[in-house]
Amino acid sequence: MVKHAHMIKTRFDSVFDFAVTICLILIFLAVAYPLYFILIASVSNPDFVNTGKIMFYPKGIGLDAYARIFQTSRIWIGYRNTILYTASSTVLSLTVTLMAGYAFSRKDLIGRKPLMLVYIFTMYFGGGLIPTYLVVKSLGLVNSPMAIIILGTVSVYNLIIARSFFENSIPYELLEAAFVDGCSNQRFFFSIVLPLSKSIIAVIALYYAVAQWNNFFTALIYLSDQKYYPLQLVLRDILISSQAIAADHTDIDTIGLQQQIAESIKYGLIVVASVPVLILYPFLQRYFVKGVMLGSIKG
């Protein structure tokens, strides 16, 4: 059987594939090594870390940093709050974004382009921190968990991804056929569109969940009661207090010991904050890759 010309792999193709593979390996190492270093530094003796003797494997292994971190009851309160904020905010944001994205994908939406321009305008221009704070205060959301859940409900970037996905993946003929069978807009969206959109739902949910999980600035501005603090703000306070304790001592040996403790706690806190997201990502990876590709065909 004669092979087609386009199936024959030339020497240039082999060289190109090899170069791409090398580049991908280098990119992977550049991304993965900092994460690996933080992990081994968190269980290593801070003396070895500070002197640059930790490169590829841990030395002086110990779990003192994690013991100190998890002995703090605020850690568990922060975890509880962050899980609550992340779950609630993600569900709310996902609901609003999918509905708005589907509406903007419909060509029969009156004023679709002007409305989309209004949304896009907010990507580049905002009212500023002080006006936003005054609005939040007037709504009675200062020092309220609802401020964390409601603020930032819609990301215009995610809205554009959802709109593009619906435009390119849900044929208009499917909508016409559904209408002929007596299907309403609401039933078409919930019974047909959503089941066909699992990939983009996973992508947008991951975007919103990671953003909310890592968010501490909103809590820093609008929350004053520590019982409402998310994990990121709790970890920030622990790190600052550890550094402050080291600065308060005058004995050189005590200062050195406290600085070591603060250094090890710093790496431990990064691991504690990152592990849940790293565990979640592999379960959504296949949807993530597919959804990004499908949603980025057209903008």
Residues 133 and 34 in one domain: no
Residues 142 and 43 in one domain: no
Q: Which of 70, 97, 274, 55 is nearest to 200 (CA)?
A: 97
Residue 185's CATH number: 1.10.3720.10
Residues 41 and 163 in one domain: no
Residues 118 and 176 in one domain: yes
pLDDT band at residue 298 under the 50/70/90 scheme: very low
Task: Find out whether 149 and 85 touch, Cβ atoms under 8 Å.
Answer: yes
Residues 268 and 182 in one domain: yes
Please tell me the least confidently modeled range out of 109-113, 259-263, 288-292. 288-292
What is the number of domains present in the chain? Answer: 2
Query: Domain range spanning residue 30?
Result: 1-62
Residues 39 and 85 in one domain: no
CA 116, 118, 123, 127: dihedral to nearest 10 degrees? -160
Query: What is the per-residue pLDDT across 217-269, written as a single tens digit (0 to 9) for each?
Result: 888 899 888 888 888 888 777 777 766 555 555 555 555 566 666 677 777 77
Q: Which residues of 5-44 are buried (b: 16+ CB within 10 A; e: fewer)?
A: eeeeeeeeeeeeeeeeeeeeeeeeeeeeeeeebbbbbbbb
Residues 157 and 68 in one domain: yes
Residues 42 and 71 in one domain: no
* Residue 224 one-letter amino acid: S
Query: What is the per-residue pLDDT across 154-194, written as a single tens digit (0 to 9) for each?
Result: 888 889 888 888 888 888 888 878 888 888 888 888 888 88
